Chain A
Amino acid sequence: MPDVKEVIVRVKRQVSPKGTPYWEEFALPWRPAMNVIICLRDIAERPVTRDGKKVTPISYDSNCLEEVCGSCAMLINGKARMACSALVDKLEQPIRLEPFSKFPVVRDLAVDRQFMFDSLKRVKGWIPIDGTYDLGEGPRMAPETQEKAYPLSRCISCGSCLEVCPQVNGKNKFIGAAIVSQVRLFNMHPTGAMHAKERIAALMEPGGIQDCANAQNCVKACPKDIPLTESLAEMNRQAWKQALVGWLIG
């Protein structure tokens, strides 16, 4: 739609975590290669709604602006997306911006995703090295293993997979596909594999892998194309195996 000279943006706003949401609409001058971040910056420079009301600039999270830090995830026209790579010319107008619904709103479009980082702690998402002193090279690894693991290691903790998951809701605190996939990554590493059991055990706690209902929304929403359903299946298998062995040896 390059002949459109205005960009209409509707933003769902909320002044604080307990505030009542409300909508505001802005009309911005169209320019080539605009993305949603540019729209939000335009509003910050001239925070006036379409009907001429002076308002505050919109709060939102952003940092790298090239889809690698995971900050600027939000709902754009109802879809979980990164604002930086959401190009205006490819979006239907008015562009609707809303905060993620599965995380507590901080203000406007900014949400609190601490749950994800806490979950990484819960599953012991690290390789337990002895220390940073020199112990020589790490274990050798087949290129094939690296090629499988690397895509998993590109998870940016944006939370899109949790946002679209029906199992993440008021009643259910599913840990989410991103974290399950991270466990798979650490369990693939030769050193990480030595401690696979404790990570799997963490995944079998309430909110763990058993809460996945296989809706498969996560893999479609992932901006990094991580094979999340593959990870869920694999970790489910590992969890069953561990449960079965545990049951057999009592």
Chain B
Amino acid sequence: MRQPKIIVVGGGLAGLMATIRVAEAGVPVDLFSIVPVKRSHSVCAQGGINAAKNQKGEGDTTWKHFDDTIYGGDFLANQPLVKRMCEAAPGIIDLLDRMGVMFNRTSEGLLDYRRFGGTLYHRTAFAGATTGQQLLYALDEQVRRHEAEDRVKKYEGQTFLSAVIDEGGVCRGICAMDLRSMEVKTYPADAVIFCTGGIGAIFGRSTNSVVCTGSAQSALFQQGVDYANGEFIQVHPTAIPGEDKLRLMSESARGEGGRVWVPKNPTDTRTAKNIPEGERFYFLEEWYPKYGNLVPRDIATRAIHRIVYQEKLGIRGQAAVYLDVTHIPREVLDRKLEGILEIYEKFLGVDPREEPMKVFPAMHYTMGGIWVNAEDQATNVPGIFAAGECEYQYHGANRLGANSLVSCIFGGGLAGPAAVKYARNLSGGAESTSSSVYESERKRQEEKNQALISPDGTENPMTIWRELGEVMTEHVTVTRINKDLQSADAKIRELQERYGRINLSDRTRWSNQTLNFARELGNMLVLARVVTLGALQRNESRGAHYKPDFPERDDANWLKTTRAKSVNGEIQLSYEPVDISQIPPRARRYDAAK
């Protein structure tokens, strides 16, 4: 029997899990990543990972986790695979525990669990407030072990440019660029698993890392891989504004009892500590008595926007509200939240154990992503699989906190064996593919580099990027209005036209970060249009997608998955039904028990 070869692109949680599973099946894996995989964006996940282990005697079940996830996602997720994920979650926690993740413990040495948004149960296992980092390291270590035993070969410092797709429309490998030598090469494979994460950079500033540009997803989209529910963008309610990045303040701060408030009098000049309880407005607790500060993210974000922009109650007229943990004992804060409090302290020079934090919503996560089937993470192009944040499957119209880590590991764990099975069943693999298929793709990518590097432009890529971020953040995040979405799309098209006249201030051929960024930027512009057009079309409000002109969820017309296709360079949207076979849709409200 021929030995298949699998490529995994992306070394965050999903990519590492997929890699481990392929290696365990005895199939060699090439793992591609822009950064050393230990530096992937998964390290930024803070609060925890959900699994209904029912270790607090509350009667939690995997069905309730499933129901919370579907309800939290406003019924847009296809249900069967979400159900499987929730059923697998307790086993995933056990696995991570066996891998040595330093989860917080109870006094009898069992894993501790805390509450998170969108649920009434203690369902979130955590390792301080750096859970993503701890999980990523555990998987990174397992991959390193497979690497030491020659089952995995890492290609770090390589960026994915395009898939190699043959005349029959089958993926036969990838084309990638070495970020030091800038050499463009093709790498044959029988199946490729994409785990390329988030798209924060198309919003300029977000809670995402620098590499989260969505460039790979966009490149695939332009090659015929469908993209689903792009318009569903999660804006996290609590982040620290910054010019380079909006730094996340985890939901776990509220899970551990943190409270959100503003002074009742917005001109109050006293420091937060000196404002008496009676003169504070705990708006989440008042508006949502059942869930209080732990309403889902879309709800909390809109509430903060309402406080700031409609009620004009932002702290001293600024776009900010207080996130207050000062009433929680210092010892508890240090044991359970140190990682995030340290970020606040380092970047703002204020100790959040003493002073309430000033926070504001920030673009955080894309629920939408590469379209995958309902069984095994396969996309519509044979040989291409996707897992993790870059695909759309698990979170519907809004993701619950602490569900992302579990979906990454579950999806990656599913994609690995699925890719192996696909590759083993192929009658002819990459070895039987003509070398001209690879050579023509390599040439196509090389020509793109050449066009960018030729010295005839006037436009600076950093400037185009800044303008893209501004228009996306203003019009395509929390509140969406059709005429603004139209003008946003017009602006993106203008930026695309200017992109055609780009001028690179670095034309060298060694470690040219400017060239790489310019390539990513071209892809970001396309993906930004997919997000914007999806939002424009969807005339309803559902989960994170909110249109004041269409304030209600409209199941009759819009209980549908958006599916974007690239047809001759044009973005075409079509719609397909959502699998609601397990839980019939019902109204979603968090002011009372559901």
Chains A and B form a bound pair: yes
- Assess whether A31 is interfacial by the CB under 8 Å rule: yes
User: How far does the alpha carbon of A242 sit from the alpha carbon of B462 in the complex, in Å?
Assistant: 56
Which residues of chain B have C-beta atoms less than 8 A from A106's C-beta?
180, 511
* Number of A-B contacts defined by CB within 8 Å: 187
Which residues of chain A have C-beta atoms less than 8 A from B103's C-beta?
146
Q: Decide if B39 touches A117 in the complex (CB within 8 Å).
A: no
- Assuming the contacts A70-B39, A191-B100, asked whether A134 and B94 have C-beta atoms less than 8 A apart, the reply is yes
Of B104, B145, B245, the contact of A65 (CB 8 Å cutoff): B245
B491-507 contacts to A (CB < 8 Å): 505-506
Of A85, A127, A186, A189, the contact of B347 (CB 8 Å cutoff): A85
0 or 1 for each of B130-148: is its CB under 8 Å from A? (1 = yes) = 1001100110011011011
Interface segment out of the listed B59-67, B105-113, B521-529:
B105-113
- Assess whether B280 is interfacial by the CB under 8 Å rule: no
User: How far does the alpha carbon of A227 sit from the alpha carbon of B245 in the complex, in Å?
Assistant: 29
Residue of B nearest to A64 (CB): B209
Q: Decide if B209 touches A126 in the complex (CB within 8 Å).
A: no
- Assess whether A66 is interfacial by the CB under 8 Å rule: yes
Of B138, B245, B508, the contact of A56 (CB 8 Å cutoff): B508
- Assess whether A128 is interfacial by the CB under 8 Å rule: yes
Q: Decide if B242 touches A189 in the complex (CB within 8 Å).
A: no
A119-147 contacts to B (CB < 8 Å): 120-121, 124-129, 131-132, 134-138, 140-143, 146-147
User: How far does the alpha carbon of A179 sit from the alpha carbon of B106 in the complex, in Å?
Assistant: 29
Q: Decide if A64 touches B41 in the complex (CB within 8 Å).
A: yes
- Assess whether B442 is interfacial by the CB under 8 Å rule: no
0 or 1 for each of A31-48: is its CB under 8 Å from B? (1 = yes) = 101110110010011110
User: How far does the alpha carbon of A62 sit from the alpha carbon of B125 in the complex, in Å?
Assistant: 29
User: How far does the alpha carbon of A121 sit from the alpha carbon of B141 in the complex, in Å?
Assistant: 9
Q: Decide if B39 touches A71 in the complex (CB within 8 Å).
A: yes
- Assess whether B309 is interfacial by the CB under 8 Å rule: no
Interface segment out of the listed A3-11, A148-156, A165-173:
A148-156
What distance in Å separates the Cβ of B432 from its nearest Cβ neighbour in chain A?
32
Which residues of chain A have C-beta atoms less than 8 A from B98's C-beta?
127, 129, 135, 137-138, 191
Q: Decide if B109 touches A142 in the complex (CB within 8 Å).
A: yes
Q: Decide if A47 touches B505 in the complex (CB within 8 Å).
A: yes
What distance in Å separates the Cβ of B252 from its nearest Cβ neighbour in chain A?
15
- Assess whether A15 is interfacial by the CB under 8 Å rule: yes
Q: Decide if B514 touches A154 in the complex (CB within 8 Å).
A: no
Q: Is the interface of A mostly helix, strand, loop or mixed?
A: loop
- Assuming the contacts A140-B110, A143-B106, asked whether A57 and B506 have C-beta atoms less than 8 A apart, the reply is yes
- Assess whether B481 is interfacial by the CB under 8 Å rule: no
- Assess whether A53 is interfacial by the CB under 8 Å rule: no
Q: Decide if B43 touches A64 in the complex (CB within 8 Å).
A: yes
User: How far does the alpha carbon of A249 sit from the alpha carbon of B112 in the complex, in Å?
Assistant: 43
What distance in Å separates the Cβ of B19 from its nearest Cβ neighbour in chain A?
11
User: How far does the alpha carbon of A87 sit from the alpha carbon of B413 in the complex, in Å?
Assistant: 40
- Assuming the contacts A34-B243, A35-B244, asked whether A63 and B462 have C-beta atoms less than 8 A apart, the reply is no
- Assess whether B120 is interfacial by the CB under 8 Å rule: no
Q: Decide if B145 touches A143 in the complex (CB within 8 Å).
A: no
- Assess whether A59 is interfacial by the CB under 8 Å rule: yes
- Assuming the contacts A129-B142, A186-B100, asked whether A44 and B514 have C-beta atoms less than 8 A apart, the reply is yes
- Assess whether B128 is interfacial by the CB under 8 Å rule: yes
- Assess whether B483 is interfacial by the CB under 8 Å rule: no
Residue of A nearest to B514 (CB): A57
Q: Decide if B514 touches A66 in the complex (CB within 8 Å).
A: no
Which bracket fits the contact residues of A? 35 or more
- Assess whether A68 is interfacial by the CB under 8 Å rule: yes
Q: Decide if B41 touches A192 in the complex (CB within 8 Å).
A: no
Q: Decide if B244 touches A37 in the complex (CB within 8 Å).
A: yes
0 or 1 for each of A81-100: is its CB under 8 Å from B? (1 = yes) = 00011010000000000000
User: How far does the alpha carbon of A200 sit from the alpha carbon of B406 in the complex, in Å?
Assistant: 34
Residue of B nearest to A148 (CB): B102
- Assess whether B571 is interfacial by the CB under 8 Å rule: no
User: How far does the alpha carbon of A131 sit from the alpha carbon of B144 in the complex, in Å?
Assistant: 14
Q: Decide if B343 touches A132 in the complex (CB within 8 Å).
A: no
User: How far does the alpha carbon of A84 sit from the alpha carbon of B245 in the complex, in Å?
Assistant: 10
Of A15, A56, A135, the contact of B514 (CB 8 Å cutoff): A56
What distance in Å separates the Cβ of A188 from its nearest Cβ neighbour in chain B?
9
Which residues of chain A have C-beta atoms less than 8 A from B339's C-beta?
68, 154
Residue of A nearest to B211 (CB): A63
What distance in Å separates the Cβ of B213 from its nearest Cβ neighbour in chain A?
12
0 or 1 for each of B453-495: is its CB under 8 Å from A? (1 = yes) = 0000000101100100000000000000000000000000000
Which residues of chain B have C-beta atoms less than 8 A from A114's C-beta?
36
Which residues of chain A have C-beta atoms less than 8 A from B364's C-beta?
none
0 or 1 for each of B23-58: is its CB under 8 Å from A? (1 = yes) = 010000000000110111101100000000000000
User: How far does the alpha carbon of A233 sit from the alpha carbon of B21 in the complex, in Å?
Assistant: 38
Q: Decide if B105 touches A143 in the complex (CB within 8 Å).
A: yes
- Assess whether B530 is interfacial by the CB under 8 Å rule: no
Q: Decide if A63 touches B210 in the complex (CB within 8 Å).
A: yes
Q: Decide if B94 touches A136 in the complex (CB within 8 Å).
A: yes
What distance in Å separates the Cβ of A199 from its nearest Cβ neighbour in chain B?
12
Residue of B nearest to A190 (CB): B100
Q: Decide if A45 touches B44 in the complex (CB within 8 Å).
A: no
Which residues of chain B have C-beta atoms less than 8 A from A64's C-beta?
39, 41, 43-44, 209-210
Q: Decide if B243 touches A107 in the complex (CB within 8 Å).
A: no
- Assess whether B359 is interfacial by the CB under 8 Å rule: no
User: How far does the alpha carbon of A137 sit from the alpha carbon of B349 in the complex, in Å?
Assistant: 41
Q: Decide if B244 touches A135 in the complex (CB within 8 Å).
A: no
Which residues of chain A have C-beta atoms less than 8 A from B91's C-beta?
134
- Assess whether B576 is interfacial by the CB under 8 Å rule: no
What distance in Å separates the Cβ of B52 from its nearest Cβ neighbour in chain A?
15
Q: Decide if A157 touches B144 in the complex (CB within 8 Å).
A: no
Which residues of chain A have C-beta atoms less than 8 A from B147's C-beta?
121
- Assess whether B594 is interfacial by the CB under 8 Å rule: no
Which residues of chain A have C-beta atoms less than 8 A from B426's C-beta?
none
- Assuming the contacts A129-B99, A132-B24, A143-B105, asked whether A68 and B505 have C-beta atoms less than 8 A apart, the reply is no
Which residues of chain B have C-beta atoms less than 8 A from A59's C-beta?
511, 513
What distance in Å separates the Cβ of B576 from its nearest Cβ neighbour in chain A?
33
What distance in Å separates the Cβ of B209 from its nearest Cβ neighbour in chain A?
5
Of B24, B109, B142, B462, the contact of A45 (CB 8 Å cutoff): B462
User: How far does the alpha carbon of A149 sit from the alpha carbon of B511 in the complex, in Å?
Assistant: 38
Q: Decide if A131 touches B347 in the complex (CB within 8 Å).
A: no
Q: Decide if A66 touches B247 in the complex (CB within 8 Å).
A: yes
- Assess whether B335 is interfacial by the CB under 8 Å rule: yes
What distance in Å separates the Cβ of B260 from its nearest Cβ neighbour in chain A?
21
- Assess whether A110 is interfacial by the CB under 8 Å rule: yes
User: How far does the alpha carbon of A138 sit from the alpha carbon of B98 in the complex, in Å?
Assistant: 4
- Assess whether A67 is interfacial by the CB under 8 Å rule: yes
Which residues of chain B have C-beta atoms less than 8 A from A141's C-beta?
105, 109
User: How far does the alpha carbon of A62 sit from the alpha carbon of B244 in the complex, in Å?
Assistant: 11
Q: Decide if B462 touches A41 in the complex (CB within 8 Å).
A: yes
Q: Decide if A70 touches B505 in the complex (CB within 8 Å).
A: no
Q: 15 A-B residue contacts at CB 8 Å?
A: A15-B508, A38-B244, A46-B460, A56-B505, A59-B513, A65-B247, A66-B248, A67-B343, A71-B35, A87-B349, A113-B36, A120-B144, A141-B105, A146-B105, A150-B128
Given contacts A64-B41, A67-B343, A143-B109, 8 further A-B pairs with CB under 8 A are A38-B243, A45-B460, A62-B210, A63-B41, A69-B40, A154-B128, A157-B39, A191-B98
A residues neighboring B (CB under 8 Å): 15-16, 31, 33-35, 37-38, 41, 44-47, 54-57, 59-71, 84-85, 87, 106-107, 110, 113-114, 117, 120-121, 124-129, 131-132, 134-138, 140-143, 146-147, 149-150, 153-154, 156-157, 186, 189, 191-192
> 7 closest Cβ contacts across the A-B interface?
A138-B97, A140-B109, A126-B141, A127-B100, A107-B511, A56-B506, A45-B462
